[in-house]
Amino acid sequence: MKTIRFGIIGCGLMGREFASAAARWAHLLDLKVRPSIVSICDKNTALYPWYRGNFASITQVTDDYKALLANPEVDAVYVAVPHNLHREIYTAVIAAGKHLMGEKPFGIDQEANRAILAACRRNPNVFVRCSSESPFFPAMQKVCALIESQSFGRIVEVNTGFLHSSDLDPNKPINWKRMIEFNGEYGVLGDLGMHALHVPFRSGWKPRNVRAILSDIVKERPDGKGGTAPCRTWDNGTLLCEALDPVDGEPFPMTVKLQRIAPGQRNTWYTEILGTRTSVRWASTNPRLLEVLRYTPGGDQAWEQIQTGYEPAFKTITGPIFEFGFTDSIQQMWAAFLHELDTGKPLHRFAGCVTPEETALSHRLFTAALESQRLAATIPLEE
């Protein structure tokens, strides 16, 4: 088994999710490659003991990402830091010749994203991908298989989104994710958008234009020090796009709903594809359940309810009757990253992580969405 030695820059919520997935790598079968975490970097030293206590493989702990990048023992780096640091740190990782898994939105804005893609072009031997885990749920993998087999007929409509309610409570203190200088002007679009767009983009459903309505619902929050702070990031966004299906060249409407204030939703990814031959719908509120409607002209319209099981893209020790969850999707995503790094190609089209080019498309969409909101108009996407 080949080992890829990893550094983690940004050891918070997502850094720990990666470390935890790496710690139970024995869960995966048939993979010829595994990660080993050898170096960690964070400004917050309070995070170090959890890593030190759980990973004997760590030989470097630093608060300076440049020291991590200078370490010849590090082959690849996962960067999970606030969005204002993406450009500086991602370009430095790529320039250091280390493979990179970066977090979305892959640059705080389009200019930052362009700089990261330019660094990729200058270093074509570095493998670079962006994190997004929801397509790795088994039900979504089944949806992807239907896309792959062109089962939908003419696409009537696609509705996709990510809804949660972590900001419904106005008394929740502000953090960097709600501050424009760290999170960016995109707000919720940059935070949640890639999750909803990964499968559409991989399917080749490129938006031609967008009409966006963005909402700033909670305008100030407790600052955690007894006062209040302005909260100027967009909380919710609804995007109506005209997309093109590369299979038949026909346009269709695609809605992308991204909400941090979605009453009743805990952390819901959803996808609905309506087609003249087949339609599907799935939401992570009931992650097992995949609904499929297969239509033959003149026949009945009946939604089948399929209980998907633990049947992910990358085989594991868990039997198919069991439940699959968020942490499993994270591990599958990491299996996809390492498999593609090792073999040069994804296991299949929809078992691959988001490419830098797909992040660039998301930035074109989000930038157009901001303009659409400003002008209250439909904005074409630049090529």
Question: Quick check: 328 binds ligand NAD (CB under 6 A)?
Answer: no
Distance from the first to the final alpha carbon of the chain? 42
For residue 34, the surrounding DSSP H or E stretch is strand 33-41
Q: What is the DSSP string of 227-241?
A: SEEE--S--EEEEEE
Q: How many residues does the chain have?
A: 383
Of 102, 75, 80, 81, give the one whose Cα is nearest residue 91: 102
Binding-site member from 109, 191, 235, 340 for ligand NAD (CB under 6 A): 191
- Give the integer Cα–Cα distance in Å for 353 and 357: 11
Question: Position of tokens 């890593």?
Answer: 51
Under rule CB under 6 A, residue 80 binds ligand NAD: yes
Cβ closest to ligand NAD, residue 184 vs residue 275: 184
Cα of 65 vs its chain's centroid, Å: 23
Q: What Cα–Cα distance (Å) separates residue 92 from each residue in 9, 62, 200, 345?
A: 12, 16, 30, 25
Q: With CA atoms as reference, report the closest residue to 336 among 92, 140, 59, 151.
A: 140
Report, in Å, the least distance between residue 58 CB and ligand NAD.
15
Question: Which residue, judged by CB position, is nearest to ligand NAD in the bound state?
Answer: 12
| C-beta closer to ligand NAD: residue 252 or 269 | 269
- Among 38, 76, 91, 103, contact with ligand NAD (rule: CB under 6 A): 103
Partnered with residue 365 across adjacent β-strands are: none
Q: Applying CB under 6 A, does 135 fall inside the site for ligand NAD?
A: no
**27-56 binders of ligand NAD (CB under 6 A):** 41-44, 47
Q: Which stretch binds ligand NAD (CB under 6 A): 80-88, 239-247, 255-263, 356-364?
A: 80-88
Smaller CB distance to ligand NAD: residue 183 or 203? 183
**Which residue's CB is nearer to ligand NAD, number 80 or number 119?**
80
Work out whether 267 is an interface residue with ligand NAD (CB under 6 A): no
* Count of residues engaged in binding ligand NAD, rule: CB under 6 A: 22
11 binds ligand NAD (CB under 6 A): yes
Task: State how far the alpha carbon of 68 is from the alpha carbons of 45, 53, 122, 159, in Å.
Answer: 15, 20, 21, 42
Binding span for ligand NAD by CB under 6 A among 81-89, 146-154, 312-320, 348-356 = 81-89
3-state secondary structure of 307: strand
Q: Is 112 in the site for ligand NAD (CB under 6 A)?
A: no
Q: Does 9 bind ligand NAD (CB under 6 A)?
A: yes
Interaction site with ligand NAD (CB under 6 A): 9-14, 41-44, 47, 65, 80-83, 85, 103-104, 131, 133, 191
